[in-house]
């Protein structure tokens, strides 16, 4: 389910989303809000409300903050992050990692997420999801 379904005309996020995996593992404490209480009791309400009222990046960051788990492997967290980003129309991420991924780890990510273009430089993983317009077939001419 993407934001376009929930809000009608929402465009995908246009700029790279900058993430730091270490910061995601140790988020700051957030104050309790009425929406937070309702979202805890009725999760679908909170998700739908956020999808309709927030920009894709803010919604993505909030959903990721709820789901990221420092007790899982970096690979598992990156798969979750990229799947959630694609679902919430954030098609370009720059993720700072605590260490460089090995070629084997990067190959595993590429195998599990074949639609994403993944590039590793030093401690930065650049992940891009080609837009549907990028995959349009050339117009066919009839003779």
- Percentage of residues in the chain with pLDDT exceeding 70? 62
Residue 69 lies in a domain: yes
Task: Specify the DSSP class assigned to residue 136.
Answer: P
Q: Could you list the beta-strand ranges (E) of 22-105.
A: 92-96
Return the SS3 of 69.
coil
The pLDDT-based confidence of 96 (bands split at 50, 70, 90) is very high
pLDDT at 91 over 60: yes
By three-state DSSP, how is residue 141 classified? coil
For the stretch 112-134, pLDDT in tens is 999 999 999 999 999 999 876 54
Task: Round to whole Å and give the CA distance between 59 and 44.
Answer: 14
Domain count, the chain: 1
Which pTM value belongs to this model? 0.69
Is 66 a member of any domain? yes
Within the chain, residue ranges assigned H as helices are: 3-7, 21-25, 34-41, 43-53, 56-67, 74-87, 103-112
Which whole number is the average pLDDT over 31-54?
58
Task: Return the pLDDT at 7.
Answer: 43
1 in a structural domain: no
4 lies in some domain: no
**Residue that has been written with the tokens 């930065």 in this structure:** 124
Higher pLDDT: 25 or 85? It is 85
pLDDT bucket at 59, cuts 50 / 70 / 90: confident
Contact 12, 2 (CB under 8 A): no
Residue 142 lies in a domain: no
Write the CB contacts of 130 (distance below 8 Å, at least 6 apart in sequence): 91, 115, 117
* The two structure tokens encoding residue 113: 């997420």
* CA distance linking residue 9 with residue 5, whole number of Å: 8
Looking at residue 15, its pLDDT comes to: 86
Mean pLDDT over each residue of the chain, to the nearest integer = 77
| Full domain range(s) for residue 48 | 12-130
Domain for residue 139, yes or no? no
pLDDT at position 50: 54
User: Of 19 and 141, which is predicted with more confidence?
Assistant: 19
Average pLDDT over residues 64-77: 90
Determine, yes or no, domain membership for 7: no
- Compute the distance between CA of residue 75 and CA of residue 113 in angstroms, rounded to an integer: 11
Give a yes or no: residue 136 inside a domain.
Answer: no
Percentage of the chain beyond pLDDT 90 is 38
How open is the CA angle 23-26-30, to the nearest 5 degrees?
Answer: 100
């Amino acid at each position: 389910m993407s934001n376009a379904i929930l809000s009608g005309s929402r465009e995908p996020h246009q700029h790279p989303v900058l993430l730091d995996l270490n910061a995601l593992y140790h988020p700051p404490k957030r104050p309790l809000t009425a929406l937070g209480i309702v979202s805890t009791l009725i999760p679908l309400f909170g998700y739908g409300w956020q999808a309709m009222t927030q920009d894709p990046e803010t919604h993505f960051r909030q959903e990721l903050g709820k789901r990221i788990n420092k007790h899982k492997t970096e690979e598992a967290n990156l798969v979750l992050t990229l799947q959630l980003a694609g679902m919430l129309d954030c098609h370009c991420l720059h993720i700072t990692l605590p260490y460089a991924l090995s070629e084997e780890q990067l190959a595993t990510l590429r195998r599990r997420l074949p639609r994403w273009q993944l590039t590793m430089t030093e401690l930065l993983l650049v992940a891009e999801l080609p837009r549907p317009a990028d995959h349009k077939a050339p117009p066919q001419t009839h003779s």
